[in-house]
């Protein structure tokens, strides 16, 4: 395989650089069509209505406690209905 001269290698690098620059410009054009400033502001406005993790922690504790009580009551009922009782002394 014959060795490539410096000018040939530089020409290939220049061609690849031009190709990458075209791809970058194409991607930038696509990104501009993705979201306009108005759409970004609308999404940010909607995000203000969401609950943060800190605000959700007390609600989570209450719900977990309530679910725990319901499950304990359900399991107690199942144990009672199956006849598993302590023997009388």
Q: Write the DSSP symbol of residue 83.
A: T
Kindly state the average pLDDT of the residues 63-82: 94
Q: Can you give the residue ranges of every domain in the chain? A: 1-41, 50-84
Give the start-end residues of each E strand in the chain: none
From the list 25, 5, 3, 2, the residue with the least C-alpha distance to 13 is 5
Query: CA separation (Å) from 55 to 59, 61, 68?
Result: 8, 11, 21
pLDDT digits (tens, 9 = 90+) for 43-70: 788 888 887 788 888 999 999 999 999 9
The pLDDT value given to residue 85: 67
Q: What is the pTM of this model?
A: 0.42
pLDDT digits (tens, 9 = 90+) for 3-46: 778 888 899 999 999 999 999 988 888 777 776 777 778 878 88
The phi and psi torsions of 32 (rounded to 5 degrees) equal: -65, -30
The pLDDT value given to residue 72: 97
| 4/12 Cα distance (integer angstroms) | 11
């Amino acid at each position: 395989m014959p060795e490539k001269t410096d000018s040939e290698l530089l020409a290939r690098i220049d061609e690849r650089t031009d190709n990458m620059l075209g791809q970058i410009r194409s991607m930038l054009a696509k990104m501009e069509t993705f979201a306009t400033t108005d759409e970004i502001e609308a999404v940010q406005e909607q995000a203000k209505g969401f609950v943060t993790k800190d605000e959700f922690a007390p609600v989570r504790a209450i719900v977990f406690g309530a679910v725990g009580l319901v499950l304990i009551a359900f399991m107690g009922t199942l144990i009672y209905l199956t006849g598993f009782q302590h023997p009388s002394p």
